[in-house]
Amino acid sequence: MENKKKEHILYRDSNLGKSNRILIYFIVFAIFIILLGKILFVESEYHILYLYGVAVTSVLFINFFIAIFKYEDLAILAKNIEIEEKNAKIKNKRPLVTCMVPVFNEEVLVEQCILSMIVQTYENKEIIFINDGSTDGTAKVLDRYAKKGLIKVIHQENVGKKRALGRAMREAKGEIFAFSDSDSIWKLDALEKIVPIFNQFPEVGAVSGHFRLKNSSTNILTRAQDSWAEGQFAIRKAFESYYGVVTCVSGPLAVFRKKAIYNFIPAWEKDSFLGQEFRFATDRTMTGFVLGAKYIGEKVRKKYIDQDFKFISEYKDEDWKVVYSKSAKAWTVLPDNFKSLLRQQVRWKKSFIRNTFFTGLFYWRFPILPSLVYYLHIIFVLVGPFIAFRHLIFLPMRGDIFAAILYIFGIVFVGFMFGFAYKLENKNCHIWIYRPIMSLLSTLMLSWVIFYSALTIKKMVWYRDS
């Protein structure tokens, strides 16, 4: 993969306008100055707190620097290679892709999902929807398209997302598995972007697409989440992708090489934590199996060898890369009210905790920089709420109001940096101005959800996010 990157340099600066180049350098320079200031001029008798502050800013700078100056979208790279091969009269590969979507009570939104798959420009595909015991009109919507021969439908009693997808994977005929959430839609060329990555880079086991909100215009909360989603992918996921170690291939557009995940189906379906089945962390856990195949594959097969499952011996445990494609786009629905947002955050935080005790056990084997950032992030999530309490409540009560002002300024500053990055990708969109709102909300309120999630980790109740 590295050799092909070097051979096909994409001169990004030549495609950027002058204003965008100025904004790029401003973002990176501003973060660097803050980092330098903390290292050289901030004095504190509390050395651990000082190191925490430097570490947070350092991770922020590293994420932005790698994402902006080093990340390459392998979809574009692979397409360029395919064009050269075509000119050389080498036939492009068009492997069968099986698109799979589990559905539960989504009669209002599922039709858009179906249509977005049917109209994909990539034609060599089969589409499977699994009706997981829906009690509304979902079955009728699915059957209407199945009768036209456009999709295949599996009707079953409710068993949960993992087991529903597990059944579909057993019946899938494709070499590539593409998953989506039932409230999501894909851009017309989403598969067309991703398939060449698997063709040209045999070491890639999974690809995460880029998602945004399709309900972003609803209110301030959805606009803030839309700007947040852009940064999570275009910055944080792009950083991980540069090293081929993306930690979560996200639900709206998640594509896997069959031989990278097939033998892990039983372990994924029956994933357990603290002595019981763990129904969340669907995307994170599947990604973890791909990342850790080389280190955990043999152990997993031994554990499930007696299960009613036919392992494919030809599928070896390889050192798979997991990457992110910025140009492969999808849209999904996220909460439009605070109650639903809290429920979503509880579920996501539970997934984070479970994944820490799964992927976290072997992630240290990967390149040192992303590994360091990964484990530091875990520390930030756990310690962050107490840092906020110290600066916003404890210190002001002792008369240090300036500490609270400075802390709020730092949160808003980070929000604007991510907002400016959003503006780079969406030139004519003004949603970037809402990004500081999400930073404040996440730091001051949602960060505390981690502790409630830990205390209720065994409660596996799934609510609709909106």
Q: Which domain holds residue 225?
A: 74-334
CATH code of the domain covering residue 296: 3.90.550.10
- Asked whether residue 329 is assigned to any structural domain, the reply reads yes
Q: Give the chain's domain count.
A: 1
Gyration radius (Cα) of the chain, Å: 22
Q: Name the residue with tokens 């990055």.
A: 421
DSSP-H helix ranges across 88-137: 110-118
Q: Name the residue with tokens 């799964």.
A: 358
57-84 per-residue burial string, b: 16 or more CB within 10 A, e: under 16: bbbbbbbbebbbeebbbbbbbbbbbbee
d(CA 340, CA 142): 27
- Asked whether residue 405 is assigned to any structural domain, the reply reads no
Measured between alpha carbons, how far is residue 43 from residues 326, 396, 408 in Å?
A: 40, 19, 19
- Asked whether residue 454 is assigned to any structural domain, the reply reads no
pLDDT tens readout for residues 346-382: 999 999 999 999 999 999 999 999 999 999 999 999 9
pLDDT of 15: 44
Identify the segments of the chain with pLDDT beneath 70. Answer: 2-19, 40-45, 86-92, 462-466
User: DSSP secondary-structure letter at 92?
Assistant: P
pLDDT of 378: 97
d(CA 259, CA 99): 16
pLDDT of 222: 97
Measured between alpha carbons, how far is residue 431 from residues 199, 225, 329, 434 in Å?
A: 36, 10, 18, 6
Q: What pTM value is reported for the model?
A: 0.92
Which H or E run includes 208?
A: strand 204-213
